[in-house]
Structure 1
């Protein structure tokens, strides 16, 4: 028999669903009639965008769980204005026909108590209720769990329903964590907009989810301030962005830009590959000084006076006056392109003063005409010429003499030689720039030059994930787009896999333009079971960074390490066994090894897709170790760990990443001896029994 209280809760759910349907119908009606009520075309377009966005938000998962918790405040003074009140908390605000709230948005100030109240500090809360749901459409309310905070009867361990939600199989993209946010995570989510924070979080600590939920919280709390610049999420690769793409829409935010860094600075297709030596130099922060000097060296001293015809009269500025104007503008340290226009305006103003001294009254039209006349423009083109980033970089990398002047005292001769391309004549620079092949690092340099020439469009807040892998020059590209905003920097120094990966957050934050930002660790692992995380943690002493060890709160999960004679056959067996259970599956290996495993799985009749493919119903993903970062799967099969270590200089860091992609079960298959670091103290031989 269903308990009366559960019957009451289900009746409330039906009422909330009805109210949401009414809100959606009203929103769609407003979209249909918005152009009629608007007074003009611009207003109609603006109103239409707002109404369509609102309707889209309401339409997201209307059959999903509409709330996950309830707060019941007591009568203690700490309850304040909420004394005796009960609030249901969900992913978005739901009201009835009269406008009374039925569900409170998880980002509202009152919701803070749901995440942070405890027996020690109840924050005025009498009782906290968590709801259990099925995963169907519509989602069914299956039960609830109460915690009495005012009497000290709340459990000390993680709630049963919270644990079930955390451990639920992962099929499809990343989910939000609004029902499971922990106090230390909530503290980070609700930091004010003006705060830049760096979250050092180990595998499964929820740092990515925290960053995305902070973006949603800031948009909810500071929507007007963020309306112009908006919020940007920068991820490490397209696969990662696809994985997280559904989180913000489920939280009611559909207008957040999500880009890889390559997409952010995309000026040209990448059609060239640098040598390792050239790439390292191009990503070095000293290149910023080289480029700045190259830009500044384009400015020359005036060689003669400026003469401007004006009807029957000629205005004349002597060379000494022009030199003072150039020096004054130089000292103002403006972006190059803005400084050029500042110099134009100063020259025109001096000419205006001469005209006024002769009794004339030049107006705005005269000033504009004079500033754009041929003699003034010729003067500017001589002493402060227009710069195009592609032409300047082509000249710099194609002419050893030009590079030597710009890099003198900054780069040594070996580093300069690594940068130089085949020599290009000055007359062919423009033609070469238009047809050049650009590498990924070249695009970073072009972006740096563009930032030296003018201010680039910015954002009110930027979330940067896997930030430990950004080079100093890539960090500067992010910082340029957040001059007047704030950052949420997410990463794990132990997972740094690029040649220029950061080993210290303070240095990385300096490159991001926020040297004084707060660094806050997340050390509780919620996604990766303890046995799996403990295995990966054995690698930490060899990774060359100092990070707090992440300890899992989960005692479930399975780990099997097996020496095998035939890796392909063993992989087929492991995948077939995994398919008998719920959840997503990934086979992770080096690129070369993965090709052979793909053939073996196909021959066995097992459908497996690449990480970039969209195959409906495919549960098995073939994942190169180089693309594993940030992704999670219920069951992971790691094939030949030693090959992952050997294939790249930071192979141990890569293996650390790979081993921590499993959120339920991990199979480690090896034919060659395991890296000794992974062996437990009781197994010095290297090929101990499967476990």
Structure 2
């Protein structure tokens, strides 16, 4: 293995191999600049203003995707193949003026060998070279001969790979194209038609796998995914901000990012809050049956709303009468079609007109399409259609359901018992839907109702992160967005911190409408060092006994300190100052209620409060409820007992603590004045 170790000074004379590779990088940068300049020089001029505007936008997106980041390198690896071919693997495809590849996109089929090749399965690769990078220039290289010389260690770890994984963090999450492991690559390249569920322990890269799969799908199925869209759904805005730079760094600038709360119908204002028991009930899949009954109960019986229970249409001097029993059959037929409420309502006038035309034909007339249209638009038919199949509004339906006990009883009969109905209904209802104080759970019900009325548009692929925390109704909201597409589900059962969190993945996949989704497990930790992971996994028997313990594959075990303090906040401040003295990001994770105290304790230490401050800072005070999915080089956790006690029950509290303890990439300091939770105690302190 030939190497110039990263971070170590080189010899006085530059390494000729490294110098040659740097020249290739310089040439690649020049070619990328040429490609972008060419795109920017193109002027849409097709004589069609609409087409020209679309082309201009397409060229703008293309130019953005060709932007060069001087702080990184265009390629991070190289493969030399048996036939003499050589490929430089990078974040995007770069060609020379003749169209020959200078850098190959990491998503191309030929790049697969860079991630998958091994001594036992070389995939035609003789040599794999990895590059170290410092401020955009190549600083080291490392060769792995897959046709090994006898004296070479086949299991020798890659120092460059380890250095890249352990490189200090600053700012948002970065891509991992240089460090994708074989088991991750297999998931990234799963076919578009396949829905994948990834159970991943902390630090196994499941979020990165989901984002890189989105990037790979956009590369492999560009036309369809550009047309139909890709959506990333995360747990909160802080998480989305953390991951927001990954796909643009890979040249993908048009992927949507949202939370489940962001999926609700436009204009929905969440101003209220439910008790836990109410929120849990509203989140159950059974509630969807109640909502469906509420919507379809609006279809009326002809005897109730039409004079004489029949439809009467006058044409000239003749009157045509469609009796009630025919109308009931017609309504039943429309209900049985499986279409949305509004789609059926739009069909009803034409079906009523058809019934009238059948009578005309039976009487010897020969009505044509113009007569059919005239009958469908007639005042009698329009009034009857509106009476039989009235227009609905999601807010009005839900307001009535929660406000009127009799209506709720009729819709929930056989689904919810009397106690559950009593729990669900409002005891002090607002007078109008506009004045309702909708809760977050209500907003999801409104989304379900909106879909019962009109079909929710589907994108081609959804990446759903932290899926274990979603209720059945929230999962159904996501499912509507990928009803004609596929989904990548990411999560960890052990990190479920909501009262309705999932107990098993098949149930999640069923609610997403993907019961045949492929379940994969990632249990090799690349981000969390062993000292930190071993400490955190003491909690696993108490929060997810069925899960196997993850293992860290990092050579560097990281650092762990558990400090008992007489005075909590001075000890926390001192720990933060020590952590901030070393390069990298620092997360100070505390119970939500302790955020103000933590901010005061830090005093003169420059810091930001996650979720409140817009200005970036290397030290961030993180409410425990927002820690999920984030990572910091060093983490200081203040008072684990307070973090546990802030949750509705001990099991959920220990799960929250498990999340908090596994945010560190290099070092973890746990400071406590109160006794540690018993599951953590033993040998430290």
TM-score range relative to shorter protein: over 0.9
Consecutive unaligned residues of structure 2, counting only runs of 5 or more, are 1-12, 304-308
1:558 is matched with 559
1:94 is matched with 94
2:141 is matched with 144
Distance in 1 (CA, whole Å) between partners of 2:80 and 2:181 is 19
Classify 1:558/1:300 alpha carbon distance in 2 versus 1 (closer, same or farther; 3 Å). Answer: same
Distance in 2 (CA, whole Å) between partners of 1:270 and 1:371 is 41
Distance in 1 (CA, whole Å) between partners of 2:75 and 2:484 is 36
Mapping 1:280-679, distance limit 5 Å: 280-303=280-303, 304-357=309-362, 362-422=367-427, 432-556=432-556, 557-602=558-603, 605-614=604-613, 616=615, 618-648=617-647, 649=649, 650-679=652-681
Classify 1:302/1:522 alpha carbon distance in 2 versus 1 (closer, same or farther; 3 Å). Answer: same
Contact 1:399 1:423 in 2 (8 A): no
What is the CA-CA distance between 1:157 and the residue it aligns to?
A: 4.2
* Partner SS, residue 173 of structure 2: coil
1:80 is matched with none
1:252 is matched with 251
1:65 is matched with 73
Stretch moving more, 250-259 or 308-317: 308-317
What is the CA-CA distance between 1:616 and the residue it aligns to?
A: 4.7
Mapping 1:106-125, distance limit 5 Å: 106-125=106-125
**Per-residue displacement from partner, 1:373-413 (whole Å, max 9, x unpaired)?**
22222222222221111111000000011111111121122
Contact 1:60 1:249 in 2 (8 A): no
* Partner SS, residue 144 of structure 2: strand
Contact 1:200 1:492 in 2 (8 A): yes
Distance in 2 (CA, whole Å) between partners of 1:660 and 1:532 is 7
**Per-residue displacement from partner, 1:50-87 (whole Å, max 9, x unpaired)?**
1110001111525521001111101xxxxxxxx22001
Distance in 1 (CA, whole Å) between partners of 2:71 and 2:241 is 23
Stretch moving more, 643-652 or 181-190: 643-652
Contact 2:234 2:466 in 1 (8 A): yes
Contact 1:531 1:555 in 2 (8 A): no
Distance in 1 (CA, whole Å) between partners of 2:259 and 2:615 is 25
Contact 2:340 2:454 in 1 (8 A): yes
Contact 2:90 2:104 in 1 (8 A): yes
Number of residue equivalences: 661
1:205 is matched with 204
Mapping 1:48-63, distance limit 5 Å: 48-61=56-69
Correspondence for 1:42 among 25, 50, 53? 50
**Per-residue displacement from partner, 1:12-62 (whole Å, max 9, x unpaired)?**
1111111011111111112xx12x2x2312211221121110001111525
Contact 2:462 2:487 in 1 (8 A): yes
Classify 1:555/1:677 alpha carbon distance in 2 versus 1 (closer, same or farther; 3 Å). Answer: farther
Stretch moving more, 646-655 or 343-352: 343-352
Contact 1:60 1:250 in 2 (8 A): no
* Partner SS, residue 450 of structure 2: helix
* Partner SS, residue 676 of structure 1: coil
TM-score (norm 1): 0.93
What is the CA-CA distance between 1:353 and the residue it aligns to?
A: 3.4
**Per-residue displacement from partner, 1:445-474 (whole Å, max 9, x unpaired)?**
111111111211111000000000000000
Mapping 1:158-173, distance limit 5 Å: 158-173=157-172
Contact 1:147 1:154 in 2 (8 A): no
Consecutive unaligned residues of structure 1, counting only runs of 5 or more, are 75-82
Stretch moving more, 311-320 or 119-128: 311-320
**Per-residue displacement from partner, 1:643-686 (whole Å, max 9, x unpaired)?**
11111121000000000011111100011111121134xx3xxx
What is the CA-CA distance between 1:614 and the residue it aligns to?
A: 4.9
TM-score (norm 2): 0.94
**Per-residue displacement from partner, 1:510-545 (whole Å, max 9, x unpaired)?**
111111211100010000000000011000000145
